[in-house]
Each structure stands twice: as C-alpha cells, then as structure tokens.
Amino acid sequence: MTVRKLPPDTIERIAAGEVVTRPASVVKELVENSLDAGATRIDVSVDGDGTERVRVADDGRGMSEADAELAVEHHTTSKLGEAADIERVDTLGFRGEALPSIAATATLEITTNDGDVRGTRVLVEGGEKSVRPAGRAVGTTVEVRDLFHNRPARRKSLSSAKAEFGRVSDVVTRYALARPDVHFSLSHDGREVFATPGSETYTDAVLGVYDRSVAGQSTEIDYRSTFDLDGRDRPLRVEGLLVYPSITRATREHVYAAVNRRAVYDATIRRATVAGYGSLLPSGRYPIAVVSVSLPPEAVDANVHPAKDEVAFVDEDAVADAVERAVDEALTTADLRRSAEIAVDLDSSLEAVGGDSRFGDVAVIGQYRGLYLLCEADDDLLVVDQHAAHERINYERLRDALRGEAVESHPVDPPKAVALSPSEAAVVEDNRETLSRLGFEVSAFGGRAYRIEGVPAPLGRVADVGSFRDALDALAAGEDPENAREELLKDLACHPSLKAGDALDRETATDLVERLGACERPYACPHGRPTVLSIGEETFVRGFEREHRRLG
Ligand code: ADP
Ligand code: MG
C-alpha cells in the first residue's frame, strides 16, 4: 500500500496529543514503524541521553522514493485504507504523525530501499527536505539527531542520560518480549546492552533481556478461549511466559503486557496476571511475566492514547477472566520443579501419573543432611525440600479447613497462661470464631489474662504456643481480613512444619511426597520458594562423560 494523506474527518478522530515527548518516544515510534513494515530484525542504537543520536535499522519492506518523500509530511500514512477505519486497525501506527513530529524538532535522515536497484535518502534538517539516491539493502534506517534542538524547555525537562536511556531500554525490552519472533538488539554509546534471537520462543526472548537464571525458571503459556461479542463467539488467545514465583520483584513493572502484539501498559492484564499467581507470590511481591493477548481488532480500541501506550477493551472482564485463568492453570499444571542446568521436560511423565498424587510413582531413596528427600522419578532425580514441602501441604490443608471444617486442635496441658495487651485482647474477642476454626482454644480468666488450652495440630504436628501471638499479629495487621487470613495461614503453615534436621523414616517421607503431589500447587511453598528440584539423567550422563565413553 502506498503512502497517502488521511482525509480530514479521520484526522479529527485520532487521539490528540504530543507524540514525541522524549527520546524513548522517538524509539517507540520508529520501532513500531519497523514492525509494521514486517521487519524480522531491528537494531536500535542510542548515544548519550538519546537527544544526540538515535538510530533504528530494520530489514522490513522499505519505501519507494515517492513514499519516503511523502512519509515525512503530516498525516500521511500507508496504513489506513480507503475506508480509514481507525476503530479496527491491525497495524501499530495509523496516524501518520510520528515522522513529521520528529522532523519538526530534530534532524531526520531516512535511508530506505523497497527492492529497487537503488535506494533513497530523505534528509530533513531545519525544516528543509532533500531527497537523493542512496545505496542500501532492502529495509529502512532512520537516524534522528539533535532532538529538541529548537525546544530548549523540553530539552531541560529531560532526566539524566542514564534515566533517559533506561526509558529507551524499557521500550525496546517491551517490544522484544511482545515479539519474540523478531530479532532485537539495543546498543548504548557503541556497546550492546542486550539482544534477542528472534527465535519465536518467549523463553529465548526472556533469556536475551534477563538472564539464564530467570529464563530457566519459567513456563510458557498458550491458552485459548472464546468470549461473546455482540452475540457472537469470538476467539481470545493468551500467550507468553511466567517466571516461577521463587523470583519476584517489588513492583508490577516486570509484568509485560501486549495486546494484538502491541506492547502496552495495561492495568487490566497486569492485575489479572498477579491475581493468577494468587497465593504463590509472597505478599507485596510481583512476578516477572510476559502476557500477550490476541483478540479480534474490533474488540480493542487502540485510539485512546496519543502515544498508543494503552488500549481500551470492549469487554474488559472477559480479558481479565481469561488472563487470570490462563496464568492460574499454567502455574497449577506447570512443572515448577527447578531443573539443574538442563531444562528437562517432565510434562509427559507428570501426565502419566494416575490417581490423586502427581508424585505417585516417585520412590524415596533417602534423606540428605536431614533437610532434603532424594527421590527417583522416572529418569530424574528429585530433590524435595522437606520443610518447604511440609509448609505447602499444611497451607493447603489449613486453607481448606477454613473453608470447611475446623483445623484439628491439640490440647495444651497444662494450659499456658498469657497476658495480652489491650489491643491483642480486642483481636481475640473480635476473632474468637476464626481462632477456634484455626485450632486455637483460648479462654479468658479475668482482665486481659487468657489461657491457651489448645493449639493447631495440622498433619499431627503440634504448633508451638508462640504461634498464637503470630496469629494475633496477622489478624491485627491486615486491614483487609482476607489478607490477614492469608498471612495467618502462611505463618501457621510454617510453624509446625518439619524443621531442619528432622529425621524421617521412609514411610513418613513417602507419605510427605505423596501428600505434596496431591496439593493443588505442589511446586512452591506458600512463600513462593520452590519445594522440588529435578535433575535429569542427562546431567549425570554429561558429568560422568558417559557419552564419550559410549562413542569411544
Ligand atoms: P504511521 O506509522 O502512523 O503511518 P509515521 O509517520 O510513523 O505514520 O510513518 C509514515 C509512513 O512512513 C508509514 O505509514 C509507512 O508507510 C512509512 N514508514 C515509516 N517507517 C517505515 C519503515 N521503517 N519501513 C517502511 N515504511 C516506513
Ligand atoms: Mg508510525
């Protein structure tokens, strides 16, 4: 499609606002143009804070001389057809405003070739446009120099070079993760900061942006469902990658959202992703995840934000539900067992396990250092952290108990007298029923003196009396009773759990592993730490150089 000027009525309908506010917004517009041009490889390089020089080179379809000359004019685009339907765009750009906005406040040089014998160079400097032939392979390089040279106030409002480059890096990261099928590289002052291979897998993209330790502890998602739009069933797909909750961050910034392959800061997707992790996340911590939602273009409005950083969904709840379910299912069924060195695909062996427990076919070989259970599972050696495993089991039992029956209580004999502060006493009085359902039997005997007559004994292990104060703290701390209860459950789950050095006979150990396998989320303790590591046989084959021996 060729570049042409948008009709005036379309121009009036596009979300107004400044497109170019800082170097990162220049990079974003250029990268989006490269993606719209079908690039499979995009190299971004930045000097200083980005006002000095930004360059984006791609291997997309390029532009003819006529198109390149027109593209730098206002409201010229090749992306909206005759009908100019901005309600259902399937390109990232559609306003024809980026290149002219950049040219108005910088030196803009475009070198491009759409497959002709020679390419074209368009230079806009100080508002003057010049066009001449230039050599270039098919694709486009856009270089922006001296940004905001004629807008000193804007230039002054920028942050440090480090901070501005950080924003550029964020933009490239978001697209590199939204488009694992495209090779991205980012360089700063001549040094490569990161690169992704464009291999199509989210794991490889995360490996490029983060590192091995993060990418190696993750699971990919691909979830499909439908939702109702004007009485018709329409498809909705959720793809991406979830990093296991043993690695978390203090903010939601590491939840990368994309909608129809557009990188967006979408609160709905971020919230639903966090909700999908649920109790696997330690409180106040957020996951690292890439969540890419695809749905028919008419179910999304991309024209709500001048920088196109946000979109509006026709049915936001349908999107939130699907994302939460996709994340929850992936984490529940995913193999959260950490694999040492080599990624081992245990999905198939997991599916083969019948009955209630996912570890039904696991044989406990022994115990190591009084801390870990070593187990044989098909071709792998499983190492179970018995304390973490016990916490997970207790947590799920307690949670279920709170839903339904009360937790077993173990009598404290003789009862233990405690003097409570006025606020602690108030917590006891306000939460008598909750405490009793949790297994605490408490009676008042004058003033603020109480007697603890029973403590929780989930799984036959008796909580110590000190857990009572923890329970009161948890109940007092959370303004939201749901959160308070979650915290309480996690702490309680921890209290009577097996401690380091507890010897377990084989029967008890087998029982523990089986109970763990029967948990809803067996692979992480309530605080998000892993419960099981798996070491594939390949590790040993490699370590003992058996392959060589076989060959030799
Ligand atoms: P928009 O992306 O909204 O169409 P732009 O000002 O960003 O507006 O770009 C104008 C036009 O220039 C695009 O419609 C496209 O035809 C062309 N163009 C810009 N960048 C590239 C590129 N990297 N490769 C091929 N064509 C491009
Ligand atoms: Mg554009």
Q: Over the stretch 94-137, which tens digit does the pLDDT of each residue have?
A: 778 899 999 999 999 999 999 999 999 999 999 899 999 999 99
CB neighbours (10 Å) of residue 306?
A: 16
pLDDT at site 525: 83
Stated pTM of the model: 0.66
As beta bridge partners, residue 313 has 300
Q: How many CB atoms lie within 10 A of CB 317?
A: 11
**Amino acid sitting at position 25:** S
Using pLDDT thresholds of 50, 70 and 90, give the confidence band for residue 212. Answer: confident
* 369-396 per-position pLDDT tens digit: 888 999 887 777 888 988 888 888 888 8
Percent of the chain clearing pLDDT 90 (strictly above): 41
- Which ligand 1 atom is nearest residue 61's CA? 25
Ligand 1 within 6 A of CB of 119 = no
Give pLDDT tens digits for 318-342.
999 999 999 998 887 655 544 333 2
Question: Order of strands, edge to edge, in the sheet holding 441-444?
Answer: 409-419, 449-456, 441-444
Residue 149 in this model has a pLDDT that exceeds 50: yes
- Ligand 1 binding pocket includes 39 (Cβ within 6 Å): no
Distance separating the N- and C-terminal Cα atoms of the chain: 61
Closest listed residue to residue 89, CA positions, set 143, 41, 32, 153:
32
Query: Given its phi and psi angles, is residue 459 left (phi above 0), alpha (psi -120 to 50 degrees) or beta?
Result: left
Cα of 365 from ligand 2 centre, angstroms: 61
Ligand 1: centre distance to CA 20 (Å): 15
Residue 34 Cβ < 6 Å to ligand 1: yes
One-letter identity of residue 498: L
Report residues near ion ligand 2: CB below 5 Å.
33, 93, 98
Give the pLDDT confidence of 456-487 residue by residue, as tens digits: 876 566 777 777 887 887 777 664 556 666 66
Residue 328 to residue 245: CA distance in whole angstroms: 12
- For a ligand 1 pocket test, name from 3, 27, 33 the mutation site with the most ligand atoms within 8 angstroms of its C-beta: 33
Which protein residue has the closest C-alpha to ligand 1 atom 9?
96
The answer, yes or no, to whether any atom of ligand 1 lies below 6 A from the CB of 203, is: no
Q: What average pLDDT does the segment 443-466 reach? A: 79
Q: Which atom of ligand 1 is nearest to the CA of 139?
A: 24
Q: Which residues contact 272 (CB under 8 A, 6 or more apart)?
A: 319, 320, 321, 323, 324, 327
**Nearest atom of ligand 1 to the alpha carbon of 62:** 25
- 29 C-alpha to center of ligand 1: Å? 9
Mean pLDDT of the chain: 83
| Cα 257 from Cα 237, distance rounded (Å) | 13
Taking residue 539's Cβ as centre, other Cβ atoms within 10 Å add up to 17
Residue 498 DSSP code: P
Q: Among residues 248, 245, 253, which one has the least CA distance to residue 279?
A: 245
Q: Check if 497 has its Cβ closer than 6 Å to any atom of ligand 1.
A: no
Give exposure, 411-446, as e/b (b: 16+ Cβ within 10 Å): ebeebeebebeeebbebbeebeebbebbbbbbeeee
Q: Which of 99, 110, 143 to mutate to test the pocket of ligand 1 (most atoms within 8 A of CB)?
A: 99
- Ligand 1 atom nearest the C-alpha of 34 is 23
DSSP state of 407: P
Shortest-distance atom of ligand 1 to CA 98: 6
3-class SS at 353?
A: coil
Q: Which of 55, 77, 303, 308 to mutate to test the pocket of ligand 1 (most atoms within 8 A of CB)?
A: 77
Measured distance CA(432)–CA(417) in Å, rounded: 17
Residue nearest to atom 2 of ligand 1 (CA): 93
Structural domains of the chain in order of their starting residue, each with its CATH number: 4-196 (3.30.565.10), 213-332 (3.30.230.10), 363-536 (3.30.1540.20)
The predicted pLDDT at position 248 comes to: 82
> Would the pLDDT of 447 be above 70?
yes
95 lines ligand 1 (CB under 6 A): yes
Q: Is residue 289 over pLDDT 80? A: yes
Quote the ligand 1 centre to 461 CA distance (angstroms).
Answer: 67
pLDDT band at 216 (very low <50, low <70, confident <90, very high): confident
113 lines ligand 1 (CB under 6 A): no
Whether the CB of 63 sits within 6 Å of ligand 1? yes
pLDDT at 548 over 70: no
Distance 101 CA to ligand 2 centre (A): 11
pLDDT at 82 over 60: no
**CA 33 / ligand 1 centre spacing (Å):** 5
Q: Picking from 38-47, 200-209, 456-465, 534-543, which range would have the lowest pLDDT averaged per residue?
A: 456-465
Distance between CA 213 and CA 193 in Å, rounded? Answer: 18
Whether residue 68 contacts residue 131, with contact meaning beta carbons closer than 8 Å, is answered with yes
